[in-house]
């Protein structure tokens, strides 16, 4: 188990620039959709964290040719929709819920059998949200009670297109159903109560699939026409806004800081955190707006200063669900209260993120109230919280990184155990912070 300790910066600001690591969501999809195309898909800027590497191994086990050609550069030789081969061994997705759920959708569209496994954290996370709609499409699942890994999935000879009304807005559920529907003879539809990340729809369109998105009776409706021939693509993966959030918040809470984060993906369904931080008074400027791989991208210039507590509207939850832990850190240094509600999904992520953030913030001397569907943080108005504690991240990478950022602004260091999982999404985390002047290291 890895323990990292963040040393307080005192009055020393963060300075410099970094490039955001490749977007994890788009990296996963690049490998998967490349496997479903006919011919070579070339990817640059791929996030080479452990989660994405697990997806690369799984895609190769399903019959695609996967080759690393340089740093962040990969080529996937696809086998076409419906062309996946039955793997000879279990597909180990490590800590990746995205990898597991989306690959289940791919396998559910083919008449093959595959077993899905993962690490201890992933094996505690329920898969029932994707099992239920994929079962309607003809897939058969055998797994642990509560729909937990390991799970063996057998796809049907002829996958059935469905019209599925999802009880929650979830990009993973939507994507799994759409991926299974690619091999169905007909149109597959997913209806959501709110918009979720649309990377799957954007990328499927670029590969040549017929995908339609519309609003109907207050629902977001996405349809895909089955059995297309997907054309290989050249994909430049933009930087991950979820990873960029850590340096951005660190700069905001340390007065005098000025940090530039290059190549940040600014998809409106992913940029909710930056909107909330700006509403809190954060100085975040977007430079050189552009489009890469069908996604809006820009460079963020972030300057430290006073923040004020603000509400995080529940309607924004789907656009920033992974960023609530680091938002808590900004809230801890803000003036006043920041209320975060409608985020009960955080209780079934890599950990119960609501409980872990509440307990960790209290240990660091931050006042916080826990709700079943969220939390309310009472900020210090810029005064350093006490710190001087050890936080168990429960092998959750976002919890670990969030409390390390808090440690930079505390009176005493914060040590985080279970920090080895940072490598799943942000292998260069400590190196990037060192480049900005921070001291985060194993002690």
Q: State CA 408 to chain mean position distance.
A: 24
DSSP-derived letter for residue 173 is H
Q: Which residues of 310-325 are buried (b: 16+ CB within 10 A; e: fewer)?
A: bebbeebbbbbbbbbb
Active site members: 322
- 268 Cβ contact list (under 8 Å, min separation 6): 296, 319
Band (pLDDT 50/70/90 cuts) for residue 167 is very high
| pLDDT for 210 beyond 80 | yes
Q: Tell me what pLDDT residue 395 has.
A: 87
Q: Tell me what pLDDT residue 318 has.
A: 74
Contact 151, 107 (CB under 8 A): no
Mean pLDDT value across residues 1-20: 96
Integer distance in angstroms from the first to the last C-alpha of the chain?
A: 13
Q: Render pLDDT for 220-257 as a digit per residue (tens, 0 to 9).
A: 999 999 999 999 999 999 999 999 999 999 999 999 99
DSSP-derived letter for residue 139 is -
Q: Return the beta strands (E) in 87-186 as ranges.
A: 91-92, 113-117, 140-144, 148-154, 163-165
The phi and psi torsions of 173 (rounded to 5 degrees) equal -65, -50
Distance set, CA 80 to CA 51, 64, 77, 112, 228 (Å): 24, 9, 9, 15, 9
Indicate the burial class of 177 (C-beta count within 10 angstroms; 0-12, 13-18, 19 or more). Answer: buried
| pLDDT for 351 beyond 90 | no
Q: Tell me what pLDDT residue 125 has.
A: 86
Give the separation between CA 67 and CA 171, rounded to whole angstroms: 27
Phi-psi region of 425 (alpha: psi -120 to 50; beta: other; left: phi over 0): alpha
| pLDDT for 292 beyond 80 | no
Averaged pLDDT score across all residues of the chain? 95
Q: Render pLDDT for 35-58 as a digit per residue (tens, 0 to 9).
A: 999 999 999 999 999 999 999 999
- Identical fold at 3-22+239-442 and 24-162+171-183? yes
Q: Render pLDDT for 383-406 as a digit per residue (tens, 0 to 9).
A: 999 999 999 999 899 999 999 999
DSSP-derived letter for residue 118 is -
- CA-CA-CA-CA torsion for 319, 324, 327, 329, nearest 10 degrees? -170
Which of 12, 6, 7 is closest to 304 using CA atoms? 12
Which residues sit in the known binding site? 24-25, 29, 97, 125, 170, 172, 322, 349, 353, 398
Give the separation between CA 113 and CA 132, rounded to whole angstroms: 17
Looking at domain 3-22+239-442, its CATH superfamily turns out to be Enolpyruvate transferase domain (3.65.10.10)
Q: Tell me what pLDDT residue 293 has.
A: 63
Band (pLDDT 50/70/90 cuts) for residue 107 is very high
Mean pLDDT value across residues 124-131: 92
Contact 331, 276 (CB under 8 A): no
Q: Render pLDDT for 420-443 as a digit per residue (tens, 0 to 9).
A: 999 988 999 999 999 999 999 997
Give the separation between CA 127 and CA 32, rounded to whole angstroms: 19
Neighbours of 305 (CB within 10 A): 16
| pLDDT for 349 beyond 70 | yes
Q: Tell me what pLDDT residue 430 has.
A: 97
Q: Render pLDDT for 70-106 as a digit per residue (tens, 0 to 9).
A: 999 999 999 999 999 999 999 999 999 999 999 999 9
Give the separation between CA 336 and CA 347, rounded to whole angstroms: 25
DSSP letters along 311-362, please? -B-GGGGGGSGGGHHHHHHHHHHSBSEEEE-S-GGGGGSSS-HHHHHHHHHH
% of the chain exceeding 90 in pLDDT: 88
Q: Tell me what pLDDT residue 121 has.
A: 85
Which residues sit in the known binding site for 3-phosphoshikimate? 24-25, 29, 170, 172, 322, 349
- 304 Cβ contact list (under 8 Å, min separation 6): 13, 14, 251, 252, 253, 254, 255, 256, 257, 258, 283
CATH topology of domain 24-162+171-183: UDP-n-acetylglucosamine1-carboxyvinyl-transferase; Chain (3.65.10)
Beta bridge partners of 142: 152
Which residues sit in the known binding site for phosphoenolpyruvate? 24, 97, 125, 172, 353, 398
Give the separation between CA 414 and CA 134, rounded to whole angstroms: 43
Mean pLDDT value across residues 152-157: 98
Q: Spell out the domain ranges in the chain.
A: 3-22+239-442, 24-162+171-183
Peptide bond into 315 cis (omega under 30): no
| pLDDT for 305 beyond 70 | yes
| pLDDT for 334 beyond 90 | yes
């Amino acid at each position: 188990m890895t323990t990292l300790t963040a040393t307080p910066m005192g009055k020393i600001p963060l300075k410099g620039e970094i490039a955001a690591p490749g977007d994890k969501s788009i990296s996963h999809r690049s490998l998967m959709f490349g496997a479903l195309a006919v011919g070579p898909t070339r990817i640059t800027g791929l996030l080479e964290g452990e989660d994405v590497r697990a997806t690369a191994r799984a895609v190769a086990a399903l019959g695609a040719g996967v080759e690393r050609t340089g740093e962040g550069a990969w080529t996937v030789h696809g086998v076409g929709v419906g062309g996946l081969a039955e793997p000879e061994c279990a597909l180990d997705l490590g800590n990746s819920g995205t990898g597991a759920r989306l690959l289940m959708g791919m396998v559910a569209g083919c008449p093959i059998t595959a077993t899905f496994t993962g690490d201890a954290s992933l094996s505690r996370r329920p898969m029932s949200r994707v099992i239920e709609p994929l079962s309607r499409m003809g897939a058969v699942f055998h797994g642990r009670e509560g729909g937990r890994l390991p799970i063996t999935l057998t796809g049907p000879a002829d996958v059935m297109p469905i019209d599925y009304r999802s009880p929650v807005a979830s990009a993973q559920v939507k994507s799994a159903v759409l991926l299974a529907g690619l091999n169905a003879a007909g149109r597959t539809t997913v209806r959501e109560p709110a918009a979720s990340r649309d990377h799957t729809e954007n990328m499927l369109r670029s590969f040549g699939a017929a995908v339609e998105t519309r609003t109907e009776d207050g629902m977001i409706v996405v349809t895909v026409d089955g059995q297309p021939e997907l054309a290989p693509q050249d994909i430049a993966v933009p930087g991950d806004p979820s990873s960029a959030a850590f340096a951005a918040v660190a700069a905001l809470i340390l007065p005098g800081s000025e940090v530039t984060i290059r190549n940040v993906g600014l998809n409106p369904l992913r940029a909710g955190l930056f909107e909330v931080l700006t509403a809190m008074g954060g100085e975040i400027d977007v430079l050189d707006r552009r489009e890469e791989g069908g996604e809006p991208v820009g460079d963020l210039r972030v300057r430290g200063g006073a923040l004020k507590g603000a509400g995080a509207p529940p309607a924004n939850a789907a656009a920033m669900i992974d960023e609530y832990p680091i938002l808590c850190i900004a809230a801890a240094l803000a003036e006043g209260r920041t209320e975060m509600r409608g985020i009960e999904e955080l209780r079934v992520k890599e950990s119960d993120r609501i409980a872990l953030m509440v307990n960790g913030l209290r240990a660091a001397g931050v006042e916080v109230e826990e709700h079943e569907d969220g939390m309310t943080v009472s900020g210090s108005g810029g005064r350093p919280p006490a710190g001087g504690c050890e936080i168990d991240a429960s092998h959750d990478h976002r919890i670990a990184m969030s409390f390390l950022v808090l440690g930079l602004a505390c009176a005493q260091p914060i040590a985080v155990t279970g920090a080895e999982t940072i490598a799943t999404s942000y292998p260069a985390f400590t190196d990037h912070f060192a480049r900005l002047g921070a001291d985060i290291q194993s002690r």
